[in-house]
Structure 1
């Protein structure tokens, strides 16, 4: 994998629509699942971005709809943002000025450790390791910017 791609304006970088592919592995059982969908970062009134992820999560061969909403809020430091859950609770900080960031989120007795890497203008990924008494997971997500042609919808031939 290539080097990191520094991001001076994290909210400007994330704005728009991203194709989202996530692999989920339960490190205790060896079970694996996949999420495929879209993450859209739209402007929030008062500043920041509303991240809306939706798609299909397949676990044990069973596909089901999945969605998540997060708020990316501006900070006084360029290139950084605070990420909050949809209900307003803090989730984690994010600083992509170097193109790479590691952050933690304690959740009850479990610890989520996230690693964010920007690879270029249209591609970034995250790796979350979740460990504790309730979970032992590895979640790897790849984000690719959707192009204007894809957003317009190419004919499918149906």
Structure 2
């Protein structure tokens, strides 16, 4: 199958618990950080978004993505967490939203690889998602703009 592992249904693939290891590099300052923790994708029963968000869904659906762990930056360890919503998209894809429902990006892993852009103020986030096998995937976000010059590389491994 080559370098990437195709995923026919992104929500089914992501469902469950994953260990997370993320490196964060500030290219402007040369500073490095590290996040370690877990991500859980579970049924999103709270979301009642508009039909715009779920045009292809049959009733409620999607996954709530909750990540928590420890972020170490400049030698200081702090708890960190975030929540995203992954809503059903056409043909086994997903529409990724922030916790409050604002659009983040779409996710199509049918080829095992996807590139997504997200403008944030004057900065541009470009994410590359790659699936290695049934239990491992990676994201690499490159952030460029007047406020940020970062590379965030995250490896996910499915937990038992």
Is the TM-score greater than 0.5?
A: yes
* 2:142 maps to 1:129: yes
Find the residue that maps to 2:11 and give its secondary structure. Answer: helix
- Find 1:49's aligned residue among 42, 48, 63: 63
> What stretches of structure 1 move > 2 A for 4+ residues in a row?
none
Would you say how many aligned residue pairs link Structure 1 and Structure 2?
145
Partner residue in 2 for 1:92 = 105
Q: Aligned with 1:144: secondary structure?
A: strand
Tell me, which stretches of 5 or more residues in structure 1 are unaligned?
148-158
Matched, 1:64 2:81: no
Q: Name stretches of at least 5 consecutive residues in structure 2 with no aligned partner.
A: 46-59
CA distance in 2, matches of 1:118, 1:50: 20
* Cα root mean square deviation, aligned: 0.7
Q: How does 1:7-156 map to 2 (within 5 A)?
A: 7-45=7-45, 46-75=60-89, 77-147=90-160
Aligned partners of 1:14 and 1:131: how far apart in 2?
A: 28
CA distance in 1, matches of 2:99, 2:144: 23
Alpha-carbon deviation of 1:78? 1.9
SS at match of 1:11: helix
Q: How much does 1:79 deviate?
A: 2.4
Q: TM-score scaled by structure 1? A: 0.91
Deviation at 1:131, TM superposition (A): 0.3
Q: CA deviation at 1:44?
A: 1.2
Deviation of 1:42 after TM superposition, in Å, equals 0.4
Post-superposition shift, 1:86? 0.3
TM-score where L is the length of structure 2: 0.89
